[in-house]
Amino acid sequence: MSSGTVYTGRIWDVRSDTFELAEGTGALERDYVDHPGAVAVVPMDEAGRILLLRQYRHPVGMDLWEIPAGLLDMEGEPNLAAAARELAEEADLAADTWNVLADFFTSPGSSSEAIRVYLARGLTEVPHHERHERTDEEAEIEFAWMDLDEAVRAVMEGRLNNPSAVVGILAARAARDDGFASLRPGDVPWPAHPAQR
């Protein structure tokens, strides 16, 4: 197998790999986005509402309702620590209970991006003097607390279509329906992530 970077971007690169599926079957070549991966968080309050953020996403040219999320782009930062950082930076919240809701690949035919979605409960506000200063698109974020069942309806009606939010909301509903008993701990390993195998 050979592998090389054919494009270097600000956030991710494009790689070109030559490989065989099995010995003697012939070489295949594939180009794909080499992505560091990301974490996303469904913040849930004591009333069972979840926090959604609305922000502009340029590639699709529209504002999307989302959940707090961010890249795994800090060397050596554990997945759960990255999720807690993103929750604080994007939503001014901290949580004392963390569980994994779902792990998924966003577009496995063209990207190595893997996303882990967490459920954060036991929420408290980050003190004003410790809050992250949001810039660029994040400076325009709008916040809305929504009942989980209404969020599920928004997904099913096509009103909410950010992939991390869709996966997180549907997983949170399934988890709630079994009393959250099937959830994994927040610090469980993530062996499917390409960089963590």
117 is written with which tokens?
Answer: 């979605």
Helix (H, G, I), strand (E, B) or coil at 11: coil
Distance of CA 71 to the CA centre of its chain: 8
- Cite the active site residues: 138
The C-alpha atoms of residue 108 and residue 89 are separated, in whole angstroms, by 28
The residue whose two tokens read 């069972």 is: 48
153 is written with which tokens?
Answer: 């309806």
Q: Report the chain's C-alpha Rg in angstroms.
A: 18
CA angle centred on 156, ends 150 and 157, rounded to 5°? 85
Q: Are 31 and 6 in contact (CB under 8 A)?
A: yes
Neighbours of 134 (CB within 10 A): 14
Nearest to 172 by CA among 188, 163, 183: 183
